[in-house]
Amino acid sequence: MNPSEGMSIRFFYFDAAHAIRVHDWIIANSGGLAGTKDIGQLESPLEHIQNDLYYPEMEDKLTHLVFSINKNHAFNDGNKRSSLVLGAYFLELNGFDHVVKRFVKEMENITVWVADNVIDKDLLHQIISSVIYEDDYSEAIKLAIVEAVDAAKQFNLG
């Protein structure tokens, strides 16, 4: 039997060229320094999320996509904005249209906190999972966010 028989495509992806066009649109419409700093830092996560062994579920793929674009600075400017918009596009592309509005609303501050090392990748994964599958954050996630923000404030005061 051919290994590809019986397999179906579970996810749809976009390429670096699309990501760059989206980024360029963001910069043109909201300001900032245009251009790509390191195309490899963009191509790498876009390729990695296609590996179902490492990133088997939507929340795994989306977390890696948002975190990597946010933190790895593929672009000269607008990395947080690009991580948010490309994450929303990835959701829409894969039939999660019903959560895109909440994702954008909830992730606006979260992406800033990820960039500032307040929220790590594990907590981001919990947050994204909650946004996708739950109506509201669990008490545990709310507490984890508050503790992360408080810890960052204490660190900055000290």
115: enclosing H helix or E strand = helix 100-115
d(CA 15, CA 32): 23
State the pLDDT at residue 7. 55
pLDDT digits (tens, 9 = 90+) for 17-39: 999 999 999 999 999 999 999 99
Paired tokens of 151? 């810890």
pTM above 0.85, yes or no: yes
What are phi and psi for residue 27, nearest 5 degrees? -65, -45
pLDDT digits (tens, 9 = 90+) for 29-73: 999 999 999 999 999 999 999 999 999 999 999 999 999 999 999
State the pLDDT at residue 3. 47
Residue 87: partners with Cβ closer than 8 Å, 6 or more residues away: 62, 65, 66, 69, 103, 107
